[in-house]
Structure 1
Amino acid sequence: MSTWRFIVLFCLAASCSRASDCSYSNLLSHLNLSSSNYFLANFRPVKHWKQVTGVELYLLLFGILDVDEKFQTITTHVWIETVWKNDFLTWKPANFCNITQFSIPRSMLWTPDINIQEDASDSSSTQESYYVTVYANGMLQMTARQRLTSTCTLNLQRFPFDRQNCNITFSAMNNDDQSIQIWTVRGDEFITNISGQAMVTHGEWSLTHLEVVKNVTVGGNPQKSKLIYQVTIERKPMLYVVIFIIPLCYLLVLDVASFFVSESRGEKLSFKVTVLLSISVLLLILKDMLPSTEDNLPIIAKFCIGVFALVGISVLEAMLVSFLVDMDDKYGKKLARASNKEVRPDKLEKKDPVKEKAEGLPVQIGPPSEREQPELFLQEVRAAQQEAASVADAPRPKRFCRVAEIIDTVFFFIYFCTVLTFLSIMYHMWIPSDFFS
């Protein structure tokens, strides 16, 4: 009887000592976790080598830092969570003081070699957690924060009303899809809403949508599993509208209004040239905004070229009108001088009695006789006919001015209709329908 009593007391003492020992050391000893465990640190933690290790990836977007159009890169602040299972790290929490999880240095365990294919950032921009969280069911969790600079093919066709779609592709570097498969169980709307709430900085961009493309397997030998996050961002165009598009439209309106300036003052042509030079300055600003790697010209470049061409044609028309007005003034002065020279010799000269006496002719003093009156009348009629013929042969005054007025009026209506058509086409091609909403 004493023997059985001794055994019961010994079991009670052992159980009490085990219950009182609630440190992690007992659990680590049970799991055989130590820095000298070469197997857990270097081999994929599966009980059968054909078993696939599933890796769940969660991506949250904390900020859009920069979008470089020239280098075709986008810089974001992301938070990445990686979850996978280790078949050798499971325990019952009831046997170890209800310990459900603990943290261990990541160097002691095997971690999936997941990388981002579009990553162009340096290693110093990544902040990975030094520890891995281990759960009782064998699930492991690892987190990382990164200032991610990723390559992205930017479509600047509708700049600054553009919307960019950039991919963040996760894949295993050295394992195929028979060893590691990557997926996520969180939906697009959930990730988009959480990223929108957690986002600290947007810059000139706003997050539109964050789409998840699951279980993508690409060809090749060997095939690899990929998980793609497609980030859709939209530019905030108001600043570009204020400092670039509105000034261009205003200069075009000024050029149209310059047709109402009188040509006689000589300020119309100089005003149009000033408008053309102002557009050239805005084109230099556009050169610094957009890269020179675009195969097709963006709509904003076509808009600038169209405005520059319209104003240039308007300047040429103003030069033509100015030339016609100057030519009319030049020929008008010649006509006045020619008329003064031709009219005076044809006028009837009065008879000088002294001159007639010197020529040996009889001097007639007093009014002309009745015989001479018809002859004098015929001479005056001939002189008037010669003067009218000389005036008809010379260029008419203001002839070129009338031609210049007709050209200017017709060109104004054609130019005005062309400007309205051009602006309406640009509006429908360029401005999104929800811009003013």
Structure 2
Amino acid sequence: MTALRTLAFLSLIGFSTSQTSDCSYYSLLNYLNMTASNSVLQIMRPVKSWTNSTLVQLDMFLLGILEVEEKSQTITTHIWLYMSWTNEFLTWNSSDFCGIEEITLPKSLLWIPDVRINEDVSDTGSIQESLLVTVNSSGWMYMSGRQRLTYTCCLDLMMFPFDTQSCNITFSTMSLNEKTIKLGTFNSDEVLNKVSAEAMVTMGEWDLKSLITFNGPRARNRLRYMVTMERKPMLYVINLIVPLFFFLILDLASFFISEARGEKLSFKVTILLSISVLLLILQDMLPSTEKSLPMIAMYCVGVFALVGISVLEAMLVTFLIDLDCYCGKKAQSSVNASEDIQLQMGDVTESAEAEERGQAKEDRCYLPDHRDLLKLILDELRAVREEAGRQYKENKKRGCYRRLAEITDHVFFVLYFSASALFLAFMYLVWIAKVI
């Protein structure tokens, strides 16, 4: 009889328990007072005492670095946000509801932390947030979302393209202070970096170095992420740095081109125009708001200045050679003119002698003056001497201009080679060696 009574009592307890427990979500929502409109849960911070602050844990993972715009100083990334907090009014005992540990509710029915990114300049269409919030039995809530984030960043382009950029993404509350809401992270920096590195889809020309969080004691309602990334410089080295270096080497090699062929100056001008094209390409890449010139701009301007001075020197040497040729042509024309004069004087002398012989037959009493004849011979000798001296001076002057051009070209080549070597050594030590 005792055993029968015990079995009857246990069956009665099981029957009563099955009548009181409910395994539906509706009973849980009824218990949480979520079936009817409850505006208090939407507008009020979910704490039972107003002195308690709400801790919002926010994790950001990088899924891709899409674009870095140097002109507008903006960076476009693909991020995944994970945000969690505690609602003290939405708690239950899971054993009373057949072990229901979590429930999903619409965001419109609950209070959501007003957290925004200060540097955000992207449009609202790029945000893909979930419309649902997951709540567990202890009141802990979490939600996630993806966003194509475009944010401002003060880019330091001094070492471009060997630069490393560190940009801040600051999360803050728009209407609440640190006494009511505090921001923090759920995972550590190591976990954030590891997950971001594994989930990274694309990085373009950049490498993600680190993702560090800062949450200072003075601004607990702010959470700052510092994203450090390094540029891949190989494309810029091939397209800008190496061509400029080759142009400088070609300009040095152009000193071995003969000036007589007349191709040296045109070759140097072609090199100068090619450097101008590279400068235009660089202008489209770098912003015009930099206070100091980036190293690559100094490199381009230095090469352009060296080649420009080389072109001016080639123009000076060409001018001196042309001046020497002009003096030579003038001397040759004067020699031809003097030969014509001497021939004319010889004809006049012969005709005068013939007339004198004819007149001597008619008038034998007439005798020419020997002093006048000697005077004429002396004048002719003096004229020939002056002409020979003038030709000697012109020939000497002609050779002087050519020698001056050769000396100028040789001296300038030594100075130009030394200046180019010093300039390249300086750029290597100040620019490339610091990065390597």
Q: Indicate conservation of the 8 Å contact 1:216/1:227, yes or no.
A: no
| Equivalent residue, structure 1, for 2:134 | 133
CA separation of 1:34 and 1:7: change in aligned 2, threshold 3 A? same
TM-fit CA distance, 1:111: 1.4
Q: What is the CA deviation profile of residues 321-361 of structure 1, one whole-angstrom value per residue up to 9, with x for unaligned ones?
A: 00110111111122233345557878997996745524649
| Equivalent residue, structure 2, for 1:375 | none
Q: Indicate conservation of the 8 Å contact 1:40/1:108, yes or no.
A: yes
TM-fit CA distance, 1:37: 2.1
Comparing 207-216 with 226-235, greater Cα deviation is found at 207-216
The 1-side partners of 2:317 and 2:142 are apart by 79
CA separation of 1:343 and 1:42: change in aligned 2, threshold 3 A? same
Is 1:301 aligned to 2:297, yes or no? Answer: yes
Structure-1-length-normalised TM-score:
0.86
For 2:63, what is the secondary structure of its paired residue? strand
The 1-side partners of 2:162 and 2:293 are apart by 15
For 1:88, what is the secondary structure of its paired residue? coil
Is 1:99 aligned to 2:130, yes or no? Answer: no
Q: CA RMSD in A?
A: 3.2
| Equivalent residue, structure 1, for 2:110 | 109
CA separation of 1:359 and 1:316: change in aligned 2, threshold 3 A? farther
Is 1:225 aligned to 2:227, yes or no? Answer: no
1:386-397 equivalences in 2 (<5 Å): 389-396=389-396, 397=398
| Equivalent residue, structure 1, for 2:193 | 192
2:160 corresponds to which letter in structure 1? F
1:166 corresponds to which letter in structure 2? C
TM-fit CA distance, 1:433: 4.8
Is 1:32 aligned to 2:28, yes or no? Answer: no
The 2-side partners of 1:113 and 1:35 are apart by 24
For 1:217, what is the secondary structure of its paired residue? coil
| Equivalent residue, structure 2, for 1:288 | 284
Is 1:235 aligned to 2:235, yes or no? Answer: no
The 2-side partners of 1:122 and 1:345 are apart by 94
Q: Indicate conservation of the 8 Å contact 1:75/1:147, yes or no.
A: yes
| Equivalent residue, structure 2, for 1:430 | 431
CA separation of 1:390 and 1:215: change in aligned 2, threshold 3 A? closer
CA separation of 1:57 and 1:343: change in aligned 2, threshold 3 A? same
CA separation of 1:35 and 1:426: change in aligned 2, threshold 3 A? farther
What stretches of structure 2 of length at least 5 have no aligned partner?
362-377
TM-fit CA distance, 1:44: 0.9
| Equivalent residue, structure 1, for 2:148 | 147
* Aligned counterpart in structure 1 of residue 260 of structure 2, from 261, 264, 272: 264
For 1:398, what is the secondary structure of its paired residue? helix
Comparing 183-192 with 165-174, greater Cα deviation is found at 183-192
The 1-side partners of 2:271 and 2:36 are apart by 76
Comparing 350-359 with 182-191, greater Cα deviation is found at 350-359
* Aligned counterpart in structure 2 of residue 254 of structure 1, from 239, 250, 257: 250
Q: Indicate conservation of the 8 Å contact 1:346/1:383, yes or no.
A: no
Greater share of helix residues, 1 or 2? 2
Structure-2-length-normalised TM-score:
0.86
Q: Indicate conservation of the 8 Å contact 1:129/1:144, yes or no.
A: yes
| Equivalent residue, structure 2, for 1:14 | 16
The 2-side partners of 1:313 and 1:50 are apart by 75
The 1-side partners of 2:434 and 2:114 are apart by 45
Q: Indicate conservation of the 8 Å contact 2:134/2:142, yes or no.
A: yes
Q: Indicate conservation of the 8 Å contact 1:183/1:227, yes or no.
A: yes
Q: Indicate conservation of the 8 Å contact 1:216/1:226, yes or no.
A: no
Q: Indicate conservation of the 8 Å contact 2:57/2:185, yes or no.
A: yes
CA separation of 1:310 and 1:3: change in aligned 2, threshold 3 A? same
Q: Indicate conservation of the 8 Å contact 2:46/2:88, yes or no.
A: yes
The 2-side partners of 1:59 and 1:217 are apart by 22
CA separation of 1:4 and 1:30: change in aligned 2, threshold 3 A? farther
Q: Indicate conservation of the 8 Å contact 1:208/1:233, yes or no.
A: yes
What stretches of structure 1 of length at least 5 have no aligned partner?
219-223, 362-377
1:63-212 equivalences in 2 (<5 Å): 63-212=64-213
State, as a whole percentage, how many aligned pairs show the same letter.
Answer: 49
TM-fit CA distance, 1:80: 0.5
The 2-side partners of 1:237 and 1:385 are apart by 74
Q: What is the CA deviation profile of residues 102-123 of structure 1, one whole-angstrom value per residue up to 9, with x for unaligned ones?
A: 2111222211111111111121
